[in-house]
């Protein structure tokens, strides 16, 4: 009994150390993301607004003396404002997909799959089983981020040609399965190997998101034989658990 208790205590300590390490990485990632957003706002949107202000000032000076030139300038300013608005929409979409709030999980995932296929030479077979009702916002965010992270990992590391994504909506739980035909890896060694932190943080992030709402995460992978990620998210959580403001960062 003493040995069993010692082993349990050691497992708990390892789990807490991993949680602390993951939290550190999450906070660091958030700070880097804030810096990136600030830089993009300054370099693209900020400069565009400055150029628009200068452009409109120039139009004010030429509109009476050279109407033709003023018309040309206004056309250029319109194109510039359209481009700035598009960049702003892309930035907002990366931060929080509006479809997730407006239409729900499945439309948001379909859009994410479409965007993924547009930027990767990879075919995604997305299948939804069962009837999915609207879920608490935190749970929808967790499921969306898990799928997003799985696709990101595949894009970065798997070199896959085909991905099979299944969302099974049962009465008591949501089951997520993501399978790819990529290069694969030794999953157990990867999760234990801190020297490959850049590769395993995505896996740990998915695991942590599932665990924090009472879910289960499992990954199976073999070198040269692809990878399968299975996640189960229960739908019977107590309201105070589902609504916790510290569940997981987006």
Q: What is the pLDDT of residues 124-147, one digit of tens each?
A: 999 999 887 888 888 998 999 999
Q: Tell me the mean pLDDT in the region 26-55.
A: 76
Under 8 Å between Cβ of 155 and 120: yes
Q: Is the pLDDT of residue 246 over 60?
A: no
- 3-state helix, strand, coil split of the chain in percent (to 5) is 65, 15, 20
pLDDT of residue 232: 96
Q: Tell me the mean pLDDT in the region 42-68.
A: 86
Under 8 Å between Cβ of 214 and 234: yes
Q: Is the pLDDT of residue 178 over 80?
A: yes
CA gap 40, 243 in Å, rounded: 32
Q: Is the pLDDT of residue 52 over 70?
A: yes
pLDDT of residue 247: 30
Q: Tell me the mean pLDDT in the region 72-97.
A: 82
Residue 181 gets the label, from left (phi > 0), alpha (psi -120 to 50) or beta, of alpha
Q: Is the pLDDT of residue 98 over 90?
A: no
Identify the bridge partners of residue 218 per DSSP, sorted by sequence position: 230
pLDDT of residue 42: 73
Listed as own residue / partner, the contacts of 112-117 with beta carbons closer than 8 Å and 24 or more positions apart are 112/144, 112/147, 112/148, 112/151, 113/151, 113/165, 116/151, 116/155
Under 8 Å between Cβ of 202 and 153: yes
pLDDT of residue 64: 87
Under 8 Å between Cβ of 153 and 183: no
H-helix or E-strand spanning residue 125: strand 123-130
Q: Is the pLDDT of residue 249 over 90?
A: no
CA gap 232, 210 in Å, rounded: 7
pLDDT of residue 205: 81
H-helix or E-strand spanning residue 81: helix 67-95
Under 8 Å between Cβ of 105 and 132: yes
pLDDT of residue 33: 65
- Domains, the chain, ordered by start: 2-95 (no CATH), 104-242 (3.30.565.10)
Q: Is the pLDDT of residue 248 over 50?
A: no
Q: Is the pLDDT of residue 184 over 70?
A: yes
pTM over 0.75? The answer is: no
pLDDT of residue 116: 93
H-helix or E-strand spanning residue 191: helix 187-192
């Amino acid at each position: 009994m003493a040995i069993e208790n010692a082993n349990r205590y050691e497992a708990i300590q390892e789990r807490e150390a991993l949680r602390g390490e993951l939290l550190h990485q999450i906070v660091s990632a958030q700070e880097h993301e804030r810096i990136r957003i600030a830089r993009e706002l300054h370099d693209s949107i900020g400069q565009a607004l400055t150029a628009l202000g200068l452009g409109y000032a120039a139009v004010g000076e030429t509109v009476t003396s050279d109407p033709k030139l003023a018309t040309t300038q206004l056309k250029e300013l319109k194109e510039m404002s359209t481009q700035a608005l598009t960049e702003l929409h892309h930035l907002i979409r990366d931060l929080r997909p509006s479809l997730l709030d407006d239409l729900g999980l499945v439309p948001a995932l379909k859009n994410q799959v479409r965007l993924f296929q547009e930027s990767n030479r990879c075919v995604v077979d997305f299948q939804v089983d069962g009837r999915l009702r609207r879920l608490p916002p935190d749970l929808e965010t967790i499921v969306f981020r898990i799928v997003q992270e799985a696709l990101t990992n595949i894009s970065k590391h798997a070199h896959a040609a085909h991905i099979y994504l299944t969302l099974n909506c049962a009465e008591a739980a949501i089951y997520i399965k993501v399978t790819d035909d990529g290069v694969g890896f030794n999953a157990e060694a990867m999760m234990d190997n801190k020297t490959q932190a850049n590769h395993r943080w995505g896996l740990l992030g998915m695991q942590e998101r599932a665990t924090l709402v009472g879910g289960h995460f499992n990954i199976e992978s073999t070198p040269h034989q692809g990878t399968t990620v299975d996640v189960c998210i229960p739908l019977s959580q107590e309201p105070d658990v589902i609504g916790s403001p510290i569940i997981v960062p987006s």
